[in-house]
Copies of this chain bind each other. A is one copy, B any other.
């Protein structure tokens, strides 16, 4: 009982009839349809997806790519990514698509091109621009079914979905100012466009004199390296009273490093993160942060890529961030 032909033999009908019965396409006598379906159930028969896809010229799967531009092997450690992944899985499943996941170490310049041209998926969702802007642009010019989570650009040749990072940075800035903080610092990765936009929004929202005095501390995205960087920063005697971290993980690392240097949070220093991962709530102290609506983001990503596949034309989406005040500021 491997193929449609076997079932056809058992049912005493032709393969076309079985196909029509099972897919519901075409016209068929309701009685025959029922009979074939019952038989299929009885024998536990399922259509072969590969064959179906071959015939239909599609794959029924969407690729989700996580470029690990900066941190070899550890990007997924940020719960932001897994939350996004989870929502994408749900969203795609709901629409009948499989999710093909691939972590890529973009050491070869054509990692994306290779993936796209392998034809394993009908479309691609890239989570994060990382430092792969050039690659994305190159592929985006010729390949249409791609949507990227990250910063939207003036006229990027590919679709993006992302939080308004500039606005998010501004939220953080205004919050720290309201708290009376004046010795400010920004901790973040400076390769990735998302983070650059957060930094820009933060700086732009500050009065001019503070803008100049605000320190920018470059950081990598793994917990260890951001902890190390923060620790070093404090060890060098720096004592900001307000810190904006480009992600919650960075924010939590800063809090931990501050504790080691006897800096009380929030009394002596306010920390604001970005993302609002679930753990932000159970951090000690709970982390004030700029929330991204990941569920909505996932929904939009899937919407856009499927619409592109369907040939509709669509445009990039920008989501509004919200400031969540908690104990760390």
Mostly, the A contact residues are helix
Chain B interface: which of A15-23, A83-91, A193-201, A209-217? A83-91
Chain B residues lying within 8 Å of A61, measured Cβ to Cβ, are 100
Contact mask for chain A residues 52-84; partner B; CB cutoff 8 A; 1 contact, 0 none:
011000010100100000000111110101110
Picked from B75, B83, B120, B282, the residue with its CB within 8 Å of the CB of A256 is B282
Picked from B74, B99, B100, B279, the residue with its CB within 8 Å of the CB of A279 is B279
Chain B residues lying within 8 Å of A100, measured Cβ to Cβ, are 61, 98-101
**What separation, in Å, do the CA atoms of A49 and B81 have in the docked complex?**
28
Cross-chain contact A223 with B278 (CB below 8 angstroms): yes
Chain B residues lying within 8 Å of A103, measured Cβ to Cβ, are 86, 89-90, 93
Picked from B93, B278, B284, the residue with its CB within 8 Å of the CB of A102 is B93
CB under 8 Å from chain B, chain A span 84-123: 85-86, 89-90, 93, 98-103, 117-120
**What separation, in Å, do the CA atoms of A232 and B75 have in the docked complex?**
35
Whether A253 is near chain B, meaning CB under 8 Å from some CB there, is yes
**What separation, in Å, do the CA atoms of A24 and B257 have in the docked complex?**
55
Smallest Cβ distance from A282 to chain B, in angstroms? 4
Smallest Cβ distance from A154 to chain B, in angstroms? 29
Knowing A77-B79, A86-B76, A117-B44, say if A227 contacts B49 (CB, 8 Å). Answer: no
Picked from B48, B224, B255, the residue with its CB within 8 Å of the CB of A284 is B255
Q: Report how many copies the assembly holds.
A: 2
Smallest Cβ distance from A148 to chain B, in angstroms? 19
Closest to A89 in B: B103
Chain B residues lying within 8 Å of A90, measured Cβ to Cβ, are 73, 103
Whether A261 is near chain B, meaning CB under 8 Å from some CB there, is no
Closest to A277 in B: B77
Closest to A61 in B: B100
Picked from B74, B86, B117, B252, the residue with its CB within 8 Å of the CB of A282 is B252
Closest to A76 in B: B86
Cross-chain contact A227 with B118 (CB below 8 angstroms): no
Contact mask for chain A residues 244-261; partner B; CB cutoff 8 A; 1 contact, 0 none:
000001001101100100
Smallest Cβ distance from A272 to chain B, in angstroms? 17
Chain B residues lying within 8 Å of A86, measured Cβ to Cβ, are 73, 75-77, 103
Chain B residues lying within 8 Å of A259, measured Cβ to Cβ, are 284-285
Q: List 5 A-B contacts (CB under 8 A).
A: A50-B59, A75-B86, A100-B100, A222-B278, A255-B284
